[in-house]
Structure 1
């Protein structure tokens, strides 16, 4: 009787394991299939319209109704916006994370409140950040410009950096901190040791922030404006790739819609390049640490 009961329990566990494995495989197939479908659609519809002229020239008169020119202004605008906002968010977010990890007690009111606050900020839609940044710009007397977009995207990406860094800091062994303090090191010296330990993960945090920054539409729609001119100054409106894609897809002209998919392909290639660079840097740092 006991053997029969034990056999049934084993069969039940094996059946649950098989169902769980099947669900995981199905989920993996769905996610991978969605990725290939999205990339395949962009390649199929955008590659025929992707030319050297399109990525090396600014738009000429009537570009958005099918005439000549390119999206170089939007490419540069997106890169300026994403690089500047990601750099500022990293310079602000990393010290905040280190302070919460090293200078506050783990279960203190300040630490718990700060983490809850950044969790909330992490989930707020970008259009809300755009509205807040727009109010700040009005108060400061700043018009829709590249500077306004940088302010908006910086506010948007700081919670991403802080929450990612918080997860990274949880992986740091407690012994590493204790050894640093036992050798007479200060908290700042412990912070430098920890930063060196999680350096590959910091690249991931920067990548996540950069990807969110370069792909945002709602936030920059209110604060960056749009211009066919090449971005030169911070106080001038600047085009971005997501907005260029949005405006081109809104056109009823098939050629302009094809250019929209080509612009999306350019954006995908930029992000892919950043991902590959980040993985190479992380692998190099990991190999060096080993």
Structure 2
């Protein structure tokens, strides 16, 4: 004989199974709607990027058909008389200022990240990390204004005079000092990318498993030796963070436009000389472009800038993702 409780449970399970068989599947449930909306939002990024690329390719069609690869390797930019356009000096100017920014900014960023993650108490680390991240959201035009009114006079009247006195025999530090120029542009970019690289490196160092640090310390290692192990463990992520900073430096517009001098030439005479970047020439000359091939050439510069920047950022993301995945895999073990 079955008990009354067993009969009740069988009855409930029977009703539920009958309901599952008889109730049709509802397509527009809350979960399905959320999935569709999320997929739409995620795909919108790809759609927008595709539309941007399409518009840039379409807008630069005249320049591509007229100059071809000569636009990339050309060294003449003459919209007034010859109507010939070459972007090589612009590419070199962009890459040079970005390289200077990395050369200056990376060691500082590494020191900031190590200090916050390894040497600073947690409460102070959170506070100073917030300040570092706050610097990353300051508008670039503010950096540009600060560069014009504070940085350029200071560098021109103090630092550049000392550099020229010590290394004036070298072509890089010879020639007249204007204040604004290649080195000033690289310095302002370095100041702008330091918060980005520092924040990424700090998170990367903090994600290193504590078991690795404890194992190194148990072997009698000093604090600095432990830090070296941490940096070795996160070396691929360090490279990725550096490339993220490089992507920011390459794509920067307003700040570099305000301090670099904006002078088109194949190569500057020194680091104190004025030059041009890809983003700066677009910002300065787009409103002055009065005919189709001129406008198309500027759009073509934007297309090249997008390709370079996307390549750098995608490589950086892949490197950082690979490093973090390796860290998480070791933590699971």
- Change in Cα spacing, 1:66 to 1:208, as seen in structure 2 (3 Å) is farther
Q: Distance in 1 between matches of 2:293 and 2:105?
A: 38
**TM-aligned CA deviation for residue 211 of structure 1:** 1.1
- TM-score where L is the length of structure 2: 0.76
Aligned counterparts of 2:35 and 2:326: Cα–Cα separation in 1: 36
Q: Corresponding residue for 1:95?
A: 111
148, 154, 161: which one aligns with 1:139: 154
Give the conservation status (yes or no) of the 8 Å contact 1:54–1:69.
yes
Partner of 2:143: 129
Instruction: Identify which range, 265-274 or 119-128, moves more after superposition.
Output: 265-274
Partner of 2:278: 241
Is contact 2:155–2:179 with CA below 8 Å preserved after alignment? no
Structure 2 equivalent of residue 271 of structure 1: 309
C-alpha change, 1:34 and 1:64, in structure 2 (3 Å) is: farther
Q: Secondary structure at the match of 1:144?
A: coil
Q: What's the counterpart of residue 261 of structure 1? A: 299
Tell me how far 1:238 sits from its aligned partner. 0.8
Superposed displacement of residue 73, structure 1: 1.3
Report 1:1-290 matches (<5 A): 15-50=29-64, 51-60=68-77, 62-63=78-79, 67-107=83-123, 109=124, 111-134=125-148, 135-141=150-156, 143-232=179-268, 233-250=270-287, 251-275=289-313, 278=316
Query: Measured at CA, do residues 26 and 273 of structure 1 come closer, stay the same or move farther in structure 2, by a change above 3 Å?
Result: closer
Q: Deviations over 1:38-75 (max 9, x none)?
A: 11111222244132322222224x33677124122111
Q: What TM-score, normalized by structure 1, do the two folds share?
A: 0.86
* Contact 1:55-1:72 within 8 A present in 2 as well: yes
Aligned length: 283
Q: CA deviation at 1:208?
A: 1.5
Give deviations 1:23-52, integer Å, cap 9, x for gaps.
210111211100111111112222441323
The residue number in structure 1 matching 2:167 is none
Give 5+ residue unaligned stretches, structure 2: 1-11, 20-24, 157-177
How far off its partner does 1:279 sit?
6.9
Question: How has the CA–CA distance of structure 1 residues 164 and 284 changed in structure 2, closer, same or farther, with 3 Å as cutoff?
Answer: closer
- What SS does the aligned partner of 1:237 have? coil
Over the aligned positions, Cα root-mean-square deviation in angstroms equals 3.2
CA offsets per residue over residues 231-267 of structure 1, 9 Å max, x none?
3311001100001222342212111110111111221
Q: Secondary structure at the match of 2:275?
A: coil
Which one has a bigger Cα radius of gyration? 2
- CA deviation after TM superposition for structure 1 residue 169, in Å: 2.1
- Look up the SS of the partner of 2:271 in the other structure: coil
Task: Give the drift of 1:200.
Answer: 2.0
Does the CA contact (< 8 Å) of 1:42 and 1:262 recur in 2?
yes
